[in-house]
Structure 1
Amino acid sequence: MNKPIDFQTIVGADGLPAFVVLPYDEFVRHFEAVGDLIPDAVAQLVFNEQMTGAKAWRTHLGLTQQAVADRLGITQGAYAQLEASPRPRRSSRERIAKALGIRPGQLNF
């Protein structure tokens, strides 16, 4: 059974709902249920600049290949090869995602 959400509706000058305010815990719970969201900026880098998901996320986060390689405990050259792969292995995706602070599913699109 679904538990009702405790929220408050803020009405605009036109009398129509303009905003909804809800407790932060509720927001987090519902946001996590949405799944692996991808910011528009990352999607734009993938589709417009033909970047891999890993490169787009790294660029979006303002990280260098060396910084990510350091987090992974590998060389920059080794990371460059991982990042260039259009379909990295599952274990590689999981390691890259952890180094970038995202979920593995956010690298897949």
Structure 2
Amino acid sequence: MTTPTRHQIIEQDGRPLFVVVPYDDYLELTGEAAPTATIPHEVIRRTVLEGISLMRAWREHKGLTQATVAEAMGVSQAAYAAMERPDARPRHVTLQKVARAMGLVAEQLQPADE
């Protein structure tokens, strides 16, 4: 199998018994509260004073390049750059992928007005 998966099915005698999923996916599926999502002052300051997106501010705060995040998401650098524009409105599922690539939770990438 060449397609990456985010879960593992454990079988016994050809019957599925358990599914192992990433913790963030488990929290989302069960509706349990995820850890409190905080945003550092520096990230907020840059979005307000410089007008850059939360996505870009977080990426630069973590010292990551667009290419690194794009690779972790499985998209091109150009596609990721479009998501990072201040006027971009990525879907929640896209925010989850970006957050995972940066070691965040999606809520940390969502503007307060949404």
TM-score between the two structures when normalised by the length of structure 1: 0.66
Shift of 1:60: 0.4
Aligned partners of 1:101 and 1:68: how far apart in 2? 10
Residues 83 and 89, structure 2, Cα contact 8 Å, conserved in 1: no
Matched with 2:92 is 90
Shift of 1:90: 0.6
Matched with 2:6 is none
Matched with 2:25 is none
Aligned partners of 1:107 and 1:47: how far apart in 2? 14
Which of the two has higher C-alpha Rg? 1
> How big is each residue's C-alpha offset from its partner over 1:4-61, in whole Å with a ceiling of 9 and x where there is no partner?
xxxxxxxxxxxxxxxxxxxxxxxxxxxx987211000110111111111110100100
Aligned partners of 1:80 and 1:72: how far apart in 2? 12
The letter for the 2-side match of 1:96 is: V
The letter for the 2-side match of 1:99 is: A
The letter for the 2-side match of 1:92 is: T
Give the helix-richer structure, 1 or 2: 1
How many matched pairs? 78
User: Which stretches in structure 1 are left out of the alignment for 5+ residues?
Assistant: 1-31
Q: Which runs of 4+ in 1 moved over 6 A?
A: none
Q: RMSD over aligned Cα, in angstroms? A: 1.7
User: Which stretches in structure 2 are left out of the alignment for 5+ residues?
Assistant: 1-32
Matched with 1:67 is 68
Identity %: 37
The letter for the 2-side match of 1:94 is: Q
